[in-house]
A and B are shown apart, each in its own frame.
Chain A
Amino acid sequence: VGREIMRNEDEINRALELYADTIRRICFIHLKNHTDVEDVFQDVFLKYLLYERTFDNDIHEKAWLIRVATNACKDVLKSFFRRNVTAFDELYKEPFYLPEEESEVLEAVLKLPEKYRNVIYLYYYEGYSAVEIAMILDKKENTVYTWLDRARKKMKDYLGGESVEK
């Protein structure tokens, strides 16, 4: 007897409880438009709702969601409409206060090219190793190392100090 193809409400609530913030952060580092953020956020959980296979464990589940979220953000950024139309809420600001130092770091990250943002976030915030990042993003391990290296150098330039090292 097969189960329902779509996940039930409890599963969705559990996933939202565990991974909503992670997905929201990925959206944050890629997107500036509030509508896009909401679209991508809902789209990621819709894919989760429709995903038929079961996950080996929570780590697998999280990695899958990160990958889906990253790809969804990329798709939005690539879209013709997004590139050619400026939404009126472009200047949307996150409704939270940051101390100056933290704000500088965050701005430096957001200034990085998209691919570097990903690796910085996954490496420094989520604590994934370069090997794991390579698997999540479906890139070569060396590519991830290169990106990390370049991202650090750029961060160093932006922050004007020695604080960014391996």
Chain B
Amino acid sequence: VNQLKSKLRSALDKVQATDDLKNNTVDYLMAYKKVNVKTSKNVTPLRFKFALICASLLLFIFVGGVSYHLYFTSTSYVDMDANPSIGLIVNRFGRVINVQAYNEEGTRIVNDVNTRFMRYDDAVERLIDRIILKEYLSEEFVAVTVQTDSYRKEKDMLIQIERVVVEALAEHKMETRLEVFSVVEDIRVRAHEHQITPARYLAIIELKAVEPSITIQCYDGYSIGYIRERARRRARDCENSEDETSHCDSEYCEEGTSRCNDIYCDNIHCSHDHLEQPANCNKPNNEHSNNRHDINKHNSRGYNRNHSNGQDRNCDGSHGNNHAGSHDRNHGVDYGNNKSNHGQCSNQTGDRGGNHNNSDGHHGGGQRGNYSSGNDNNHNSECRDNRRGRR
């Protein structure tokens, strides 16, 4: 063994790597290294990897949090009143993030149609469709209000909403008048505090101006059309009546527009508590709670009487002007909007009374003109439809 070992050893000892082979190998390896430089940049220590993972995680959480915040922060409010009162809360991307129903019909519609995360215009379209199919739609008019954080967005939203509602109404051959207008945040907040839409809130405020003793609760179950009509009638009665104590608030009638402004201001800013006193409900509220047929009778009777007086134009005009004026001065914003609102109102049945072309674009003159110059049949059908809608 040892012999073999030593022979093998001495033979293989002579097999050696030559200097040429070694040098060639070194040259080859160095050349290879030069071409394929890999440095420590690619070597990531565990600590660094961990830090990287943590940073990514934090970034992910941060981005997620910001996105969530951006997505679920409301920037716009779309409230519609078509008998069912529904409010859509819209984010900055125009998506509905929450839906609020303000009355029983509204709740039923909201339960039927899921509009969450839809675009606001699609949501409005679907809701209107559903309202029509359910036969909840008031024949008086549909009021949609928009409150948002920028004028430009507000303009776009008003146009979009008007378009989809007009299309939906036309599709179902409904001749319902449409009002789409913007409101200031203050009004929207106050309306929502009372769990009503801004359109309804404004109508009640309008009535409140001529009938200070009423409360919001007294009228939140009535249609906007009825409330406005009552306000208009009361204002007209006040103007026409020599006996100031019979129908009207003396304050309103005595001093005309300037007193009216004060009352209006008072109602919006000052007498909030007063507005919420349920004990002060007038007769209409009792009627409302007891028997809705009486409302219609009352409505109908009142309407006829006023109509026969033939004094619509004056009363409407004065009231409309006061309304606008007061708001302009006291808020500085809203009725600037509201004037243009009426420019944007769509009178779907504007020609029903034949006065559409004569309307001057003002609140009283434009819309009420259509009403007051209309015929009794129309009004009566409104009453009936009111009841049907409340079924």
B68 interface hit (Cβ, 8 Å): no
| Residues on A with beta carbons closer than 8 Å to the beta carbon of B246 | none
Which one, A58-66, A72-80, A81-89, A102-110, is touching chain B? A102-110
Is there a chain B Cβ closer than 8 Å to A160's Cβ?
Answer: no
Do A106 and B38 touch across chains, with their CB atoms under 8 A apart?
A: no
Q: Which of A21, A49, A102 contacts B7 (CB 8 A)?
A: A102
Cβ-based interface call for A56 (8 A): no
A21 touches which one: B5, B16, B24, B28 (CB < 8 A)? Answer: B16
The answer on a CB contact under 8 Å between B1 and A164 is: yes
Contact, CB under 8 Å: B5 / A124? yes
Minimal beta-carbon separation of A34 from chain B (angstroms) = 10
Number of interface residues of B (CB under 8 A): 33
- B3 partner residues in chain A, CB cutoff 8 A: 163
List the B side residues contacting A163 at CB < 8 Å: 1, 3-4
How many Å lie between the Cα of A46 and that of B28 in the bound state?
9
Contact of B21 among A9, A41, A103, A106 (CB under 8 A): A41
Q: Are B38 and A4 in contact (CB under 8 A)?
A: yes
Interface flag for A145 (CB, 8 Å): no
Tell me, rounded to whole Å, the shortest Cβ–Cβ distance linking A148 to chain B.
12
* Chain B residues, CB < 8 A from A3: 40, 43
Binds A, one of B29-37, B223-231, B353-361: B29-37
Contact between A6 and B15, CB atoms less than 8 A apart: no
Inter-subunit contact B39/A25 (CB<8 Å): no
Interface membership of A155, Cβ < 8 A: yes
Task: A41 to B10: give the CA distance in the assembly, Å.
Answer: 22
Could you tell me if B5 and A13 are in contact, using CB atoms closer than 8 angstroms?
Answer: no
Are A109 and B39 closer than 8 Å at their CB atoms? no
Query: How far apart sit A49 and B29, CA to CA, in the bound complex (Å)?
Result: 7
Q: Contacts of A103 on B, CB cut-off 8 Å? A: 11
Residue contact B25 to A16, C-beta cutoff 8 Å:
yes
Most buried by B among A9, A23, A124: A124
| With A2-B45, A4-B40, A12-B29 as contacts: A124 and B4 at CB distance below 8 Å | yes
The residues of B with any CB-CB pair to A shorter than 8 Å are: 1, 3-5, 7-12, 14-17, 21-22, 24-26, 28-30, 32-33, 36-40, 42-45
